[in-house]
Structure 1
Amino acid sequence: MNRHFIGDLYYYALSVIIPGAISFFSVPVLKSMLGASDFGYYSLWMNAFLITTGSSIGWIATSIVRFRSAASNPLTYFRQVIKIVTILSVVLAVCCVLVLGAMGKPAGFILVFAAALIASVYQNACIAFAQGSFMAKRTVLTESLRIIVFFTLAVLLLSVSTNHFDIRLFFATAVSYSVSTFFLFQSIRRKLANEKNDSLNESTSQIAIQDLLHYGWPLFFWTLAYSLIPYLDKLLVAEKYGNELLGNYQAVFDLVYKTLLTLLNPILLTALPHFSRMHVVSDLTQVRQIMKKLIAIELLLASLCLLGYYFIGAKWLHQLAKVPHNSEFIGIGMVSVVAAFAWHIAMLLHKPLEMARRTKVMMYNILISLLSTAALLIPVFYYWHQMLLFPVSILFGAVVYIILCLFSLAKMQKV
């Protein structure tokens, strides 16, 4: 691994310390303030929010990073990106109002949910551009600022009253994304003002935008399917066992699965812009070498985390989240550990497909993984009565996706 890669990985690792720690402790704090049932209800809507945000902007964000290096006029490229995101935000807001209105949600909830979506879309686009521009330090500050503002405001609002808790929490979400987006947007503007822009060759930025849209549309379906895989089981747990048990299940899942993905995320944040630059200069050998080292490290970390959770972490986490300390929740946590690492390794494995613009192949693979997960959940919901099998479906989806990615990579190398 080269020095620049390790340097950026270091800064992105720093970026998850504060957000990761606050997110980790926000789970038991919010669960304690709301109660298991209301926390379960909130988690369903927050997951729906994350799915909507991820599927709407995730494909564009990945494409922004992928083609940032190809734009010789970054300022023009950034302006084009903002135009696309603005159009997307308007469409998203209109759809949000129509759907939530048809569901009979109150106007206050619709307003804050739509505002949070719009702010999140802009923040994700700005973070992607910052990644592609190797602004690792600014990304550190942006994510830290967002989670600090959210947690502080959420606790203050819930301390006043827990009435309409969903509106209060999504208001905090909207404010936190807006504040962090404004900070990062200004940082990008200052950087671009001091950066060399080839005004005589703006066509490369136009080509980069065209490539972004052509490359990115399959990633919309990829992101949507990927987001649904760890959401389907939550819907079925709520339907089968009720919101209170869902709240306990979600608390363990968030503390283990989401925390691990947050801690591992700097690897992906660092890898994509560096892999993109290596791909531009056709340094594919170094890409493969780095990937092999990263996967080996993650397998080692997975083993250590699994042992640590079983012997030390489970009891402490269950006490922290106020969930029953029994074999079922211990098993749910262990499966969540394995599933988190499995999905993260899957994200690394498909990077060569991303670099080769095989996004349609990625889309087909994740759709098959989603269908496989759903197929497993059907008998789990109707015939089996062990809650442990619900997180197993997420791990099963990861295994299917890894197998499909390995097959696609082998096929690509033969061509």
Structure 2
Amino acid sequence: MDRLIAIRVVAGFGAARAVPGVLTLVSVPVWLHLYGAANYALYSLYWATALVGTSLSGGWLRQAILRHSGGTSPQYEDVAARTRLLVESTAVLAVVPLALLIGPNAGRPADLVALLVVAAASLLLTGRYSVAQTTLQRDGRSTRYALAELVRVGGALVVSVVLALAGQVTSWALVLATAAGTAGALAIARRGQPATGGPRVPAAAVLRAHWRYGWPMSIWLTASGSLIYLDRFVITELYGLERAGHYAAAADLGVRGMSMFVTPLVMFLHPAFMRRWNAGEERASLRTWRRATVLLTGGTALVAAACFACYWLFADRLLAEPIAVGTFAVLLTGGSLWQLAQLVHKPLEAMDRTPTMLGLLVVSLAVTCVLNVALASALGELGVAVAFTAGASTYVALSAIVGRRAVAAHLRGTGGQR
């Protein structure tokens, strides 16, 4: 029975990622065609900045919600709704670095103001929706999660087409479409959440416990977003928006395409792994993790090969100026390794070794930055792709080595639990 439930939940999260993932991949050539490479580049820079900004402001909370899954301590939902709204709204602060990073490239002052106003609304909605997503993931409510994601991605695509047909071919129109889709998804996710009904607990104690665990993970998520999306900023700075837009489109097809396969398994395994670990079934949870890692490695290689074949055959038809096939292959390799990293570091996460994870990622990000400086000017898109892949490879290797040693020491220290 437990296996059937696990299969159903994984399949549900698979649908939650697969259908919206396909729509996301469809959106890339559609937006590139309707809005042009320069506007798509600006949207990509917004998306990267929003991801990094919301990771810094709310990543600690999302990771702590998952980490405390199944525990006896008070949950985040036990905090008063007004306090939760205030905490989740901090994502809007990401509009400040957004203005600094893309302001010089946004065109007319009116376009920049419109972009920042719409971006602030989108960031606010994204901050709230990401927390709602996390609680659905924690509770294994894959059907509701899938519906919300379908509304988010599908709504953004529909609204973007309507805005383009209405003559609003601007970068802020793409951000507005994203905000509209997120608003619909948030309504779906919130409506599906059961009322807690229990007594409220002091917010300070709960948030302090969540912060204590989550702050290194928040910085980790921020650094990981920087590692993944730094290439777009480098290409924009060196070669301009047009070239950056074409590169970003290909990178989105490759990296996001890989996440469609890997994310459902990780989304199911994370709370399940933490629940067993928290219950003292450490050896059993590690056996599950090892089997999942082996299966994920083989499956990722197959999906990467399929993605490469599709790009080789259809890139000229989907993209106006596709990047070289060899560069796309390097991006796929980096995307595959990065997705695999989400599973490789789970034992460190379970042992609350988040500062260690952060240190490993900082080293990996440093590798990426050094290689970008050394290769981007000479090799262009290939140079930044190599830098990204090298950083991802470094993190996977270090996480595997350090994690293995940490697990062995932990089991010796606890006398080898079940």
Q: TM-score, normalised by structure 2?
A: 0.88
User: Per the alignment, in what secondary structure is the counterpart of residue 181 of structure 2?
Assistant: helix
2:49 is equivalent to residue 54 of structure 1: no
Q: Which residue of 1 aligns with 2:382?
A: 388
| CA distance 1:405–1:72, shift in 2 (3 Å) | closer
Q: Which residue of 2 aligns with 1:300?
A: 298
Deviations 1:55-110 (A, max 9, x none): 32222111111113225665xx3142855543335544356369739956743322
1:4 partner amino acid: I
1:28·1:251 contact (CA, 8 Å) conserved in 2? yes
2:400 is equivalent to residue 406 of structure 1: yes
The structural deviation recorded for 1:271 is 1.0
Which sections of structure 1, spanning at least 5 residues, go unmatched?
none
| CA distance 1:411–1:117, shift in 2 (3 Å) | same
2:262 partner amino acid: L
2:41·2:244 contact (CA, 8 Å) conserved in 1? yes
The structural deviation recorded for 1:235 is 1.2
Tell me the distance in 1 between the aligned counterparts of 2:41 and 2:87.
Answer: 30
1:92·1:118 contact (CA, 8 Å) conserved in 2? yes
> In the TM superposition, what are the counterparts of 1:263-412 in structure 2 within 5 Å?
263-324=261-322, 329-382=324-377, 384-412=378-406
| CA distance 1:320–1:110, shift in 2 (3 Å) | same
Alignment partner for residue 175 of structure 1, among 162, 180, 191?
180
Q: Which residue of 2 aligns with 1:123?
A: 129
Give me the identity figure in percent: 21
Tell me the distance in 2 between the aligned counterparts of 1:157 and 1:65.
Answer: 37
Tell me the distance in 2 between the aligned counterparts of 1:202 and 1:92.
Answer: 24
User: Per the alignment, in what secondary structure is the counterpart of residue 70 of structure 1?
Assistant: coil
| CA distance 1:170–1:319, shift in 2 (3 Å) | same
1:71·1:208 contact (CA, 8 Å) conserved in 2? no
User: Per the alignment, in what secondary structure is the counterpart of residue 188 of structure 1?
Assistant: coil
2:65·2:135 contact (CA, 8 Å) conserved in 1? yes
2:40·2:171 contact (CA, 8 Å) conserved in 1? no
User: Per the alignment, in what secondary structure is the counterpart of residue 381 of structure 2?
Assistant: coil
> In the TM superposition, what are the counterparts of 1:120-269 in structure 2 within 5 Å?
120-163=126-169, 165-190=170-195, 192=196, 197=198, 209-269=207-267
1:286 partner amino acid: A
| CA distance 1:240–1:81, shift in 2 (3 Å) | farther
Tell me the distance in 2 between the aligned counterparts of 1:81 and 1:397.
Answer: 41
Which sections of structure 2, spanning at least 5 residues, go unmatched?
104-108, 411-418
RMSD, matched Cα: 2.6
Q: Which residue of 1 aligns with 2:99?
A: 100
2:58·2:90 contact (CA, 8 Å) conserved in 1? no
Tell me the distance in 1 between the aligned counterparts of 2:310 and 2:201.
Answer: 57
| CA distance 1:388–1:98, shift in 2 (3 Å) | closer
Q: Which residue of 1 aligns with 2:413?
A: none
1:228 partner amino acid: S
1:9 partner amino acid: V
The structural deviation recorded for 1:228 is 0.4
Q: Which residue of 2 aligns with 1:14?
A: 15
Tell me the distance in 2 between the aligned counterparts of 1:208 and 1:6.
Answer: 33
Alignment partner for residue 112 of structure 1, among 96, 118, 126?
118
The structural deviation recorded for 1:140 is 1.1
1:122·1:181 contact (CA, 8 Å) conserved in 2? yes
Tell me the distance in 2 between the aligned counterparts of 1:260 and 1:99.
Answer: 27
1:338 partner amino acid: T
User: Per the alignment, in what secondary structure is the counterpart of residue 68 of structure 2?
Assistant: helix
| CA distance 1:99–1:301, shift in 2 (3 Å) | closer
Tell me the distance in 2 between the aligned counterparts of 1:36 and 1:98.
Answer: 22
Tell me the distance in 1 between the aligned counterparts of 2:276 and 2:25.
Answer: 35
The structural deviation recorded for 1:11 is 0.7
Deviations 1:211-257 (A, max 9, x none): 31100011121011000012221111122222222122111111111
1:260 partner amino acid: M
User: Per the alignment, in what secondary structure is the counterpart of residue 388 of structure 1?
Assistant: helix
1:146 partner amino acid: R
Number of residues of Structure 1 aligned to a counterpart in Structure 2: 401
